[in-house]
Chains A and B, each alone.
Chain A
Amino acid sequence: MSDVKILITDREGQLHNIEAPIDMAMNLMEVIRSYELAPEGTIGVCGGMVMCASCQCYITSKHRLPKMEDQEEAMLSEAFNVEDNSRLSCQIPITEDLEGLELTLAPEE
């Protein structure tokens, strides 16, 4: 298997059922950008260096995700609109464990 299905609700509330490759070393933020689900320059601004929170999303399904590392936790502590299920999508690599993942993009700051 080389793709997983992910359900993404964009900032306008529109649902997208997308397929993400697991063999291209991509992360969730990059997948969102590749499908242009948020305008360029409003998501993944730092390029995935955990130095902004523009790729914040809310995970709405019960998947087991990689544990949050200190850097991500610290960045989210400075971000706005943070909820208990907030994650930085640049810190979630695409693996087969993500099959069926559901998430919503956080509003633009």
Chain B
Amino acid sequence: MIKTDIIIIGAGPTGLFTVFEAGLLKLKCHLIDALPQAGGQCSEIYPKKPIYDIPGFPEILAGDLTVNLLEQCKQFEPGFTLAERAEKIEKSDTGIFTVTTNKGTKHQAKVVAIAGGLGSFEPRKPQIENISFYEDKGIEYIIKDPEIYRNKKIVIAGGGDSALDWSIFLANINAEVTLVHRRNEFRGALDSVEKVRDLKNKNKIKIITPAEITKLNGKEKLTSIIITKDGEDTELAIDHFIPLFGLSPKLGPIANWGLDIEKNAIKVNTFDYQTNIPGIFAIGDVNTYPGKLKLILCGFHEATLMCQSAYRIINPGKKYVLKYTTVSGIDGFDGTRKEAPKSVVQAINK
């Protein structure tokens, strides 16, 4: 059981900045995210794209913003549960929430902040008959342990970076890789395309384009697939089929937590971004209220206000007043202290 002051669901920019603001109030945070890394959309979808509306940064790459936010909050020692999706929430009679992930990891806190953006990123699944039957029985949408593919017959479908990168990686661990794509052109980093071409020329990757996987066969597990190219079907015996068509966000289990949902977002009040369940807040792109704008900078504001109420829930009756970091400095939970240098007070003419 992981115990903390605030459980933050979603490790995107809003979630990461919450750690900082909570830290100033001496509250400890633990983040849960379905992705294997922090940063949310900024690191998963557009790390190399510039953002122009972060105050004080005329231009910053989304990936660099994530790095900076991690650096800014690191002295408050956030905990992370990554590559797990928050699945279930329970509230005890004493007002303590327990959040359990799809892998069974339990987290406990008095306050939950949902900073889930557009939701957790789920793989886009191709529309092939019986595909759900073969999931984890020869079909994987996300590669967790590449070693299981060593010396196996693999078909990868897709035309983007992940299809190219995994084809290269798996070919290099001696998997027998066939890459199938609906078009002749691939959308990926130039060097990935060249590497795949090189591996194809060395007969280490087979490429079938323009083609589609149209049928799956196998009694208990996947044993073969039908590839349709130019209207002709070919059966191919395989061990694994890995469709890599990208990820799309889904609100997921949070939608069933009893929260008021409107337009695929969680309704909050604008005093402190609390939801209809006291103790559960929703901040950033995941929430909605009159006048809502889905901007990172609005998420930062919402996180800051939310932490004030979180403090009052966690420390009822305990006095506190807002302090400026320039004046009071920052005391990290790791023992570090940041503060403005003292002014020199000295006579110049003696």
Shortest distance between the CB of B61 and any CB in chain A (Å) = 13
Could you tell me the distance between the alpha carbons of A71 and B188 in the complex, rounded to whole angstroms? 10
Could you tell me the distance between the alpha carbons of A54 and B264 in the complex, rounded to whole angstroms? 15
- Interface with A: B27-35, B67-75, B177-185, which one? B177-185
With known contacts A109-B124, A109-B248, A74–B185 Cβ distance under 8 A: yes
A49 at the interface (CB under 8 A from B): yes
Per a CB cutoff under 8 Å, which of B118, B182, B265 touches A78? B182
A40 at the interface (CB under 8 A from B): yes
Per a CB cutoff under 8 Å, which of A41, A52, A71, A75 touches B265? A41
With known contacts A74-B159, A80-B126, A40–B265 Cβ distance under 8 A: yes
Contacts of A51 in B (CB 8 A): 45-46, 246
B182 & A77 in contact (Cβ 8 Å cutoff):
yes
Could you tell me the distance between the alpha carbons of A51 and B249 in the complex, rounded to whole angstroms? 12
B-to-A contact residues, CB < 8 Å:
45-46, 49, 118-119, 124, 126-127, 158-160, 181-183, 185-187, 245-246, 248-249, 251, 263-265, 288
A39 & B263 in contact (Cβ 8 Å cutoff):
yes
Shortest distance between the CB of B319 and any CB in chain A (Å) = 40
Task: Give chain B's interface secondary structure class.
Answer: loop
Could you tell me the distance between the alpha carbons of A77 and B49 in the complex, rounded to whole angstroms? 22
Can you spell out 22 A-B residue pairs with CB atoms less than 8 angstroms apart? A39-B263, A40-B288, A41-B118, A45-B249, A46-B45, A49-B45, A49-B46, A49-B49, A52-B246, A71-B187, A73-B183, A74-B160, A74-B185, A74-B186, A75-B187, A77-B181, A77-B182, A77-B185, A78-B158, A78-B245, A80-B124, A80-B127
With known contacts A49-B46, A77-B159, A78-B159, A39–B264 Cβ distance under 8 A: yes
Could you tell me the distance between the alpha carbons of A46 and B248 in the complex, rounded to whole angstroms? 9
Which single residue of chain B is at the shortest CB-CB distance from A82? Answer: B182
With known contacts A49-B46, A77-B183, A77-B187, A40–B264 Cβ distance under 8 A: yes
